[in-house]
Structures are given as structure tokens and as C-alpha cells.
Structure 1
Amino acid sequence: MNLRLQLLHFVVATAFYNTAFAEVFGYVAYNDSSKCVAYKALPACFGPRLPAEGLTGYLTRVIPPNACHAIENPPALRKASEMYIALIQGYDCSFVKKVLHAQQAGYQTAVVYNVDSEQLITMMADDKEIQQLIKIPSLFTGQSVSLHLQRTLQCEKRAYIRLLPPKYYLSPCQDNVKMLQETFTMQDFRDIFYVIIATISVMVGLSWYKRACKIKLHTYKQGDKYETCVICMAEYKEGDCLKILSCSHAYHSACIDTWFNTQPGKKTCPFCKQGVNTYGQAGEDVNEEEQDHEDNALREGHEDEYVEEEKYNASTVEGEGFDALEKSTI
């Protein structure tokens, strides 16, 4: 039972770890009158975090698309509550420089997307001086956001989206060594989990097989489903010691032992001819009272044999003494 509880605790902890690890992702969500589409994204390791309630605004493709140089300013705001979100290609220069150019152009946040891939990358700052200048949040996402924007712009001038932060910030901004160590640790947990499952499966299988192949001793009671021993053809009586084979057929213990002794090779059931494993099986399921009863009966039997043998030896000696006396008299 302790092993099962430990296994359950391990499974729950692993599931929680996986769920929590997945919560590192934020989302880029697009809503219209008929549907809502959300794409996974990773928060950058520089700049402020997204607010807990998220950010909403108009997603706009910047010019130049990779934002490796100064980019054009977004359209003029019609309302103070409006916000423009820069959509930037993720290649040719550092992430922190792209976000800085978006900030300098007047964008309130930035979304950098991967080109020709959905793989998510944690945006790191390679320039500490520029990192200190970043005052807007940013995310990294796959190319699907860019493709979706292209389809949306065919019908609309701008795409109104919402950036949703991860439910839990679990420090995605780790150096590569720590991330590799965490990955290997998770792989080790998964391997250990598989080994535990395989071990338990083997143990359960062996336990089931052992029980299935075991010869059980049974003391017959009135009303049992067993009726007649097919070896001696005698009906069972109250207190008879039976042996039940793995095929569920029952016989008198002495009868089936005699039957097994007549078989030089593989032992089989005399009724259904199914193979029987007799090695180390007999007597394993007998309780202590039955075992003591058998031991006492066996001991009494040996004592009776010993008494009879002593009587026989005494009568033999006495007869030989009478013969010698007769001969000496003659």
C-alpha cells in the first residue's frame, strides 16, 4: 500500500510540474464576432511583465519588418485608451534591440514572431545597457500570428488583439545551463516513472501467475461445490483434505499425490490434462490450524508405526528365545 501511495504522489507531482511548466506560456488572442483564436507566446526576459489583466490593442506590422533599425511610428491615436502593438520578425539582430526600436517609435508593447517555425524562444538581453532602457513588455511567438494577421488585414485595416500573461511566472529567463539541467531532471523523472510502472506491472503479473498456478489445500466441508474424487471415485466426506489444482479441479490429497508420482515427467491434471506446477506448491495456502492438525496426525501415525514395530521386534525376540530354550532342553 505504501508503494501505491508513493507512486500516486509521484504521478500527481509530475502532473503538477508539467501543468505548471506549461503555464509559463502567455497567449496572443484575437477575437471577432464569430471566433476566438489564441497563440502561445513566451514573455521576454527583459522589460516589465504584462499586467495580470493583460493588454489589448491594435497589432501592426512594423516597417522595416525585422526592426533592426529605427522603424516608422504607428498611426496617430484617436483615443487615449488605444494602444498599438508592434509585430516584428525575429531574425537578423538581437531581440532587445528590436524591442527598443519599437519603444522609441511609440509602440506600447511588442510581439516578436519566429520565421518559418512555431518554435518558441525565450528572448534574452545580450546588451545590459540596452536592457536597462526597455520600458515596454514584449513576447515571442510562432509564425502563426503573422499569418493570421495577413488574413485579417485582407478584410480589416487593423487586428485588435489581447495579450494574456501566463497564469504563473515560473522564471523562464534562466541561463542555458540551468534550462538544460531542468530538462534532464524532467527526463530523469519520466524515466523513473516508467521504470516504476514497469516494475509494478511485472510484480503484479508474477503475483497473479503464482496464485493462478498454486496448488491449494482445502478441508472439505458439507455444502462445498466439490463432490467426488475422480481418481478413487469416492464422495468427499466432512474433514477430508483436498488439493485444488490451478485448473480448479479438486482431488483427495493422497490420491493426487499418488497420481503425480506415477507421472515421470510433466505433471498434469487427471481430468483435463492441463499442466500443473507442483514445485514448492503443496501446503502453501494451509493455515496454521490445518498444518498443526496434519503434523499431529503425521506424528501420531509415526508413533503408531513405532509402537507396532516395537511390538513386532519384542515378539520376534521372544519367539527366538523360546526356540533357543526348546533346543537347549532337547
Structure 2
Amino acid sequence: MNLWLQLLPFVVTTAFCKVTLAEIFAYVAYNDSSKCVAYKALPACFGPRLPAEGLTGYLVRVIPPNACHAIENPPAPRQASETYIALIQGYGCSFVKKVLHAQQAGYQTAVVYNVDSEELSTMMADDKEIQQLIEIPSLFTGQSVSLHLQRTLQCAKGVYVRLLPPKLYLSACQENTKMLEKTFTTKDCRDLFYITIANTLIIVGLIWYKRAHRTKLHTYKKGDKHETCVICMAGYKEGDHLKILSCSHAYHSVCIDTWFRTLPGKKTCPFCKQSVNTYGQGDLLPEQAGEDANEEEWDQEDDAFREGHEDEYAEEEKDDASSVEGERFDAPENNIT
């Protein structure tokens, strides 16, 4: 129970980080009569924001796909309100150049997707002059949007989608970078949480294994399954102190201690010759601990008694010494007499 209480802060932190992480995402949503599918995306740190109510239009794959050069114009709109969104592969040249080519071709928005990966990246502007020319919003998303477009494409125009802005919209590059740093910190925190859980389980398993396979101390009682010590070949008596090895064989404590002292290296059971763990070898039985405590109490009482009667001992020694000296002086007188 204490272990779970210690791990509770990691759980709360991970849950909080997941909530915070979800706030920075925009979404590319596709709707039809039967289902709605939404894919995560990150707004670029250059160009205008998506409108607060979102933006809808036809998602069209551009030619050439990576938009590193001038691309073809979108289909002619049948209505003035029709919007076209450029779907661009995210490799080959800078993000800001891709978006500029989409803007020059007549697209109102650009969606750049990661090729062969769902990992999201922040689109930064490496050219300040081109950045100032950007007048359309743009997003970066994973490859799922492109795969979905291939599955659902039914006409030359493309797929009708809706781009939803994030709740916490940060348009400045510096602020967006800080938010991404928080995102990576969150990922590191989550990884640390999983590592902590794994290490805890390993430690608990090792402790359990050591306790399960250590040498156990036991006081023999009548009716126990252990009968004879194979070292001294004597039967166990009521109250004998035994040691049960990890292989489940039992011996007199004195006998097995002597046996282990005769083995220079690995400790083995005298009966089955299996390697045994001597962990717990130095533990004391409750009865032994009580006997040691009683011996200490007797020693303390003897010391206290001696301290309280030191004066008496000193006087008695003086009397004895004086009596001896008197006898020594009397002896010559007797001899003279």
C-alpha cells in the first residue's frame, strides 16, 4: 500500500501532462454520413492563425507532392465560398517555402504531413524574408491524413475536411517552442514513470526471491516433519534450534554452521548438494534473542551491584591489608620471644 502511495504523484503528473499536451493540438477532421475521424496536428509558428470557428474546405494533394517548387493551381471553384487546402509532403525543403508555394498557387490553407511517421514537428521559418510573405495558415500532421485521403478520395477536388484550431493557440515562434519543450518534458516524465514502475517491480521481485530462498530459523516442536539431522545423525528434540535451507532440508543450527565453515567457496546442502543461499544466516530466533537480552540484563545488574559496593570492597581490602601487615610485624616479635 505504501508503494502505491509513493507512486501516486507520478500517476497524477502523467495524467495532468496528458491533458496539457492535448491542449496544443489542432485537428484535421473528416465527416461523412456514418463517421467522424479527427487527426492531431500542430499549427505552424509562422503565418496567421486558423479562425476561432475553424476552417472547412477541400483537401487536395499537390503536384509536385513536396511543393519544393511551384505547384499546380487548385481546381476552379464553382462558388466563391469554396476553399482549397493543400496537402504537402514534409521533406525536401523548408516548411516556409512549401507554404509559400501553396499560397502562390491559390490555396487558402496548407497541411504538411510527416512521411512514414505519426510524429509531429513544429514548422519553423528559417528565412525571415519568406516568413513575412506568408498570408495563409498552415498545420503539420502525421501520415494518417494522407492515407485517409487515399482511401476516401472520390472526386478530383479532394476530400471535404474541417480544420479545428487548438484551445491554447500560440502563434509566436518562441512561445510555440516553449510549449514544445513542455511537450517533450511531458514525454520524458511519462518515460520516467514507466521506468520507475519497472524498477520497482524488479526490486520487489528480487526481495521476494531472496526471502523465499533464504535460510530460515526454526524451533523444533513435536510433530514437525523434520526428524533427524543428517550431519550429527541425532533425532530432533523439543526446543532444538534448526536452520531450514532454501532446498527445504533442516539441520541443527550448530551442525550446519560448522558444515558451512568447512566449505571454502560455494555453500551446498550436505544432503542434496544443491547450492543454497545463506541469506538470513545471522538472524536470531525470538527465543535466542530473549536469552541474549536476559544475559545482558544479568551483566548490567552485576555491574550496578559492583558499582554500589565499591566502597565496601575498598574498606574490606584495606582491613585485609592492615591485618596482613600486623601479622608480619608480630612474626618477628614472636621469633624474638
TM-score range (shorter-chain normalised) is: 0.5 to 0.7
Contact residue 21 and residue 183 of structure 2 kept, 8 A: no
Partner of 1:111: 111
Distance 2:90 2:216 in 1: 73
Distance 1:227 1:87 in 2: 79
Partner of 2:225: 226
Q: Normalized against structure 1, the TM-score is what?
A: 0.59
Partner of 2:289: 291
Contact residue 74 and residue 106 of structure 2 kept, 8 A: yes
Deviation string 1:169-193 (CA, Å, 9 cap, x unpaired) is: 5789449997997798679768866
Q: Letter of the aligned partner of 2:58 in structure 1?
A: Y
Partner of 1:243: 243
Deviation string 1:207-250 (CA, Å, 9 cap, x unpaired) is: 34543453332223456x4341243452542x332222222222
> Post-superposition shift, 1:43?
1.0
Q: Letter of the aligned partner of 1:292 in structure 2?
A: G
Comparing 268-277 with 105-114, greater Cα deviation is found at 105-114
Identical amino acids, percent of aligned pairs: 69
Contact residue 268 and residue 275 of structure 2 kept, 8 A: yes
Matched, 1:43 2:55: no
Q: Letter of the aligned partner of 2:46 in structure 1?
A: F
Matched, 1:282 2:256: no
Distance 2:158 2:187 in 1: 43
Deviation string 1:263-303 (CA, Å, 9 cap, x unpaired) is: 6765433433323455x74341533x531325658999xxx
Q: Normalized against structure 2, the TM-score is what?
A: 0.58
> Post-superposition shift, 1:149?
4.7
Q: Letter of the aligned partner of 1:282 in structure 2?
A: Q
The alpha-carbon distance between structure 1 residues 252 and 171, as it changes in their structure 2 partners (threshold 3 A), is farther
The alpha-carbon distance between structure 1 residues 110 and 299, as it changes in their structure 2 partners (threshold 3 A), is closer
Contact residue 215 and residue 282 of structure 1 kept, 8 A: yes
Contact residue 71 and residue 101 of structure 1 kept, 8 A: no
Listed as ranges, the matches of 1:1-330 within 5 Å are 5-7=5-7, 9-10=9-10, 13=13, 17=17, 20-21=20-21, 24-33=24-33, 38-51=38-51, 54-60=54-60, 66=67, 75-76=76-77, 78=79, 82-87=82-87, 95-96=95-96, 99=99, 108-113=108-113, 120-125=120-125, 136-141=136-141, 145=145, 149=149, 155=155, 157-166=157-166, 173-174=173-174, 200=200, 203-204=203-204, 207-221=207-221, 225-231=224-230, 232-237=233-238, 239-257=239-257, 260=260, 267-278=267-278, 281-287=280-286, 290-293=288-291
Aligned to 2:289, what secondary structure does the other structure show? helix
Contact residue 113 and residue 140 of structure 1 kept, 8 A: yes
Q: Letter of the aligned partner of 2:123 in structure 1?
A: M
> Post-superposition shift, 1:160?
0.9
Distance 2:90 2:281 in 1: 74
Distance 2:262 2:91 in 1: 85
Contact residue 68 and residue 92 of structure 2 kept, 8 A: no
Partner of 1:318: none
Contact residue 229 and residue 236 of structure 1 kept, 8 A: no
The alpha-carbon distance between structure 1 residues 250 and 159, as it changes in their structure 2 partners (threshold 3 A), is same
Distance 1:149 1:73 in 2: 16
Distance 2:157 2:184 in 1: 46
Distance 2:147 2:199 in 1: 48
The alpha-carbon distance between structure 1 residues 274 and 174, as it changes in their structure 2 partners (threshold 3 A), is same
Contact residue 62 and residue 71 of structure 2 kept, 8 A: no
Distance 2:234 2:178 in 1: 77
User: Any stretches of 5+ residues in structure 1 without a counterpart?
Assistant: 301-330
Contact residue 30 and residue 162 of structure 2 kept, 8 A: yes
Aligned to 1:211, what secondary structure does the other structure show? helix
Distance 1:286 1:92 in 2: 75
Contact residue 215 and residue 246 of structure 2 kept, 8 A: yes
Distance 1:116 1:245 in 2: 58
Contact residue 122 and residue 173 of structure 1 kept, 8 A: no
Deviation string 1:49-107 (CA, Å, 9 cap, x unpaired) is: 33566432222466898497798586446485x54434456688865576567668875
User: Any stretches of 5+ residues in structure 2 without a counterpart?
Assistant: 299-337
Q: Letter of the aligned partner of 2:228 in structure 1?
A: C
The alpha-carbon distance between structure 1 residues 182 and 73, as it changes in their structure 2 partners (threshold 3 A), is closer
> Post-superposition shift, 1:122?
2.5
